[in-house]
Structure 1
Amino acid sequence: MSAEWLYEAGIAEERAILASGGSILSARVEWGEGLRPGLVAEAKLVKRHAGSRRGLVRFDDGAEALIDQLAREASEGVRMMVRVTRAAIAERGRTKLPVVKPAPGEAARPAPNLREEIEATGATVRVLPATSRAFATNGWDELVEQAQTGEIAFPGGAIIVSPTPAMTLIDVDGALPPLKLALAAVDAIADALHRMDIGGNIGIDFPTLADKKDRQHVDKALADALIDWTGERTGMNGFGFVQLVARLERPSMVARFARHPAAAAARVLLRQAERVEEPGALLLTAHPRVLDALEPAWEADLARRTGRTIRSKADAALALHGAFAQAVPA
C-alpha cells in the first residue's frame, strides 16, 4: 500500500502524518510559532559579533533571532531583509533562538503552513475533517504517548528519547544480551527519527560491545535501517556510542512535549474534545496546569468549531497527559 500524507488543521496545532498500511512512517507538528522556516521579513541588526559574520537581529514585533552570513559592510543598526532557516528550538532548560540569513532582494512573505511545506516537496496532502478517524487508525494516539514519555518499546527492550540543549539522546535499555539488544533496537531508532521528526545532533547510547566485529555488525544494521534518512553518522566507538547529524529546521515532537508538557497536553485535550460525538456541553477535565495552558482564544475556537458550551474542571490527581473531554447536559 502506497504511503499518503494526511493533514489536520487543529486548534493551536497543525498535524501531518505519512501513513501506510495502518502505520505512521513520518509525522510533523507545528504550533503556529511566528518565526518559522520560509518567513522573509525586515529586521534590524542589533548586535554583530566582532571578527565574525554572525550577530543578532530584532524584528518589528520584538522577536529576536541569530543571523549568519552577514555581509562585511553590515553594521549594527542597519535594517535588512532576512529569511528564517530554523525555528526556535525549545528544550529542557533553555530555548535556542531562531536562525536567519540575509535575503537581499527578496520580497517579504509569510512562512508556509505545514500543509504548504509538505506540498512544496511535491507530495500530495489529503486534508481531513475534525471528525475523521484516519489519524487514530494509523496509530496517532500511540505516537503522542511516545512523545509524552520519550519511551518507545520494541521486542526485548525499549529506547528512551531525551532532548537536551546539546543533542537528542537515545538510550537503549533491555535485558537481552548486549549484541542482540543493540540489533533489536536499530529499527526502533530509525523509525523514531522519522516518526518524532528528530533532526540536529543525535547521540545513540548502545550497550557496550567489546568485540570490534560486533560493533561493525551493529553499524551495518544501522546503516541499512537509515537508508532513506538524510544525514551523517559515526561508527560505534568502544563505549557503544554513535552520533548522527542531520539538518535541523524545527523542534522534534519529543522536544515540544518535553519543554512544554502542559501546553502539549492542552492541545491533545482540544483535539479529543473536537471528536466528542455525544450531544451536550463539553466538559474538559484536566490537571490545573493543563487548564492554565488553555488560552482563551483556543477555547473560543473550540466553542466555534463544535457549536457547544465549554466547561472545565480541575483535578490535581490527574497526570498532565490524563486529561479527557466528555459531553455533559447543557
Structure 2
Amino acid sequence: MAEWLFEDGIGEQRAALIGDDGQILRARIAVDGAGPQPGLVAPARLIERGLARLDSGEEVALTRSAPGVTLGAAIRVEITRAAIPEVGRPKPPRGRITDAAPRPAPTLRERLIDAPVRVLRAHESDALEAAGWSEILEEARTGDIAFPGGMLRLWPTPAMTLFDVDGDPPLDTLAVRAATAVAAAIERHDIGGSIGIDFPTLAGRDARQAVAAAIDSALPQPFERTAVNGFGFLQIVRARTHPSMAELLRSDPVGAAARAILRQIERTPPTASNRFSLLPAVRASIEENRAWMAMLVQRTGRTPIFDA
C-alpha cells in the first residue's frame, strides 16, 4: 500500500509518496517563507482592476475583475495559485475575491490526504533517501530523466514546461515508452499548467494514437491534451497550484543546496565529525539565516563548524 513519508525539515518541509515497489511516485517540497499559498483567505485591498494587495503586503493577481468594487476597497482574497518563480519576472500569487472567513493555507502535511502518512525523524534510518530522494532532486535540478531505452530532458520555461525525448529506435516503441515516462515525471515533480512534449516524428496515425493512449493511461485525470501532430508534438494542460520541483530548485539553487546540507547535518550521528566543507555561497546562506542556525543547534545539540 502506498504511503507518504513526511519530514519537517529546517527551512522546508518534504514529502514523498512511496509506491508498493518502494519508489517515489510524487515528491513535494514546501519552502518556508514562500509567500501566500493556495487555500489562504486573507484581508486585502483592491489596488488595480485585477490586482489586490494583502494586508500583509503581498500583491495578488485576481482571476476575475471586481465589478462594483471601488479601488482601495477592503476585500478578502482566497489564494488559488502560489507565486511562480521565473528569471527576471516572477509570476505573483493568483487569487479570487471571496466572502469566506479568513483562514490560513493548509500546510504540506495537511495536504497529504490520499494515503497514510509516516512522519520521519532525524535519528531514524533515512527512509526518504532509501526511496531515492537525492535522485529525484537531481532530476529536478538537471532535467535529465532516464527511462528504459531513452532519456527525457525537462525544461521549465515562462510559457510552458517542455520535455524532449531521445532514445534508441524503433521510434514507435520509443515514443510509447517515453509517454509513460513523461506521465510519471509530471506526477513525480508536481508539474502543472501547460506542458509540451516533443516526441520523435512518427509515421502513421496509429503510432501517434498509441502515444496519446499511453498518456491517457498513465497520467491521472483531470487534464486536457491535444493529439500528437505530424511533427511529434503533444500538449497537455493541467491545473497548477504550486511551482514544480524543477522551478523550486532552479529558481534558488543556493538556497536549495543549503537546505539539503542542513538535512545532512541534522542526520549526522553525534559521534561523527562536526566539521563540514561547504561552497562559500552555501555557507553564507546558512550562516546568515539565524533562524536556521538556531533550529540546527536546538535539534542537534551542537554548533557545526563550516570549512570553506
TM-score (norm 1): 0.87
How far the C-alpha of 1:28 sits from its partner, in A, is 1.3
In the TM superposition, 1:238-253 aligns within 5 A as 238-253=230-245
Counterpart of 2:301 (choices 299, 304, 307) is 307
How far the C-alpha of 1:278 sits from its partner, in A, is 4.5
Q: Distance in 1 between matches of 2:259 and 2:139?
A: 16
Q: Is the 8 A contact 2:201 2:231 kept in 1?
A: yes
1:140 aligns with 2:133: yes
Q: Which deviations, in whole Å up to 9, do the C-alpha atoms of 1:34-74 show, x marking residues without a partner?
A: 300111110111111xxxxxx11112232111012344101
Identify the residue that residue 83 of structure 2 maps to in structure 1: 88
Letter matched to residue 25 of structure 2: L
How far the C-alpha of 1:220 sits from its partner, in A, is 1.8
Q: Which deviations, in whole Å up to 9, do the C-alpha atoms of 1:131-154 show, x marking residues without a partner?
A: 331112211121111112111111
How far the C-alpha of 1:111 sits from its partner, in A, is 1.1
Identify the residue that residue 145 of structure 2 maps to in structure 1: 152
1:74 aligns with 2:69: yes
Counterpart of 1:107 (choices 101, 105, 108) is 101
Identify the residue that residue 24 of structure 2 maps to in structure 1: 24
Q: Distance in 2 between matches of 1:113 and 1:263?
A: 20
Q: Is the 8 A contact 1:182 1:206 kept in 2?
A: yes
1:34 aligns with 2:58: no
Letter matched to residue 240 of structure 1: G
Q: Which deviations, in whole Å up to 9, do the C-alpha atoms of 1:229-250 show, x marking residues without a partner?
A: 4211111011111101111000
Identify the residue that residue 322 of structure 1 maps to in structure 2: none
Counterpart of 2:120 (choices 115, 123, 128) is 128
Identify the residue that residue 9 of structure 1 maps to in structure 2: 8
How far the C-alpha of 1:87 sits from its partner, in A, is 0.3
Percent sequence identity is: 48
Q: Distance in 2 between matches of 1:156 and 1:89?
A: 33
Q: Is the 8 A contact 1:281 1:311 kept in 2?
A: no
The 1:231–1:131 alpha-carbon spacing in structure 2 relative to 1, beyond 3 Å, is: farther
How far the C-alpha of 1:115 sits from its partner, in A, is 0.7
Q: Is the 8 A contact 2:189 2:246 kept in 1?
A: yes
| Stretch deviating more after TM superposition (273-282 or 26-35) | 273-282
Q: Distance in 2 between matches of 1:94 and 1:261?
A: 17
Identify the residue that residue 298 of structure 1 maps to in structure 2: 292
Q: SS at 1:90's partner residue? A: coil
Aligned length: 303
Gaps of 5+ in 2: none
Letter matched to residue 45 of structure 1: L
Cα RMSD of the aligned pairs, angstroms, is 1.7
Q: Is the 8 A contact 1:16 1:28 kept in 2?
A: yes
In the TM superposition, 1:215-234 aligns within 5 A as 215-226=208-219, 228-234=220-226
Q: Which deviations, in whole Å up to 9, do the C-alpha atoms of 1:79-105 show, x marking residues without a partner?
A: 11111110001134431110011111x
Letter matched to residue 216 of structure 1: Q
Q: Distance in 1 between matches of 2:85 and 2:35?
A: 14
The 1:280–1:180 alpha-carbon spacing in structure 2 relative to 1, beyond 3 Å, is: closer
TM-score (norm 2): 0.93
Q: Would you tell me which structure has more strand in proportion to its own residues?
A: 1
How far the C-alpha of 1:312 sits from its partner, in A, is 1.7
Q: Distance in 2 between matches of 1:113 and 1:273?
A: 24
Q: SS at 2:276's partner residue? A: strand
Identify the residue that residue 264 of structure 1 maps to in structure 2: 256
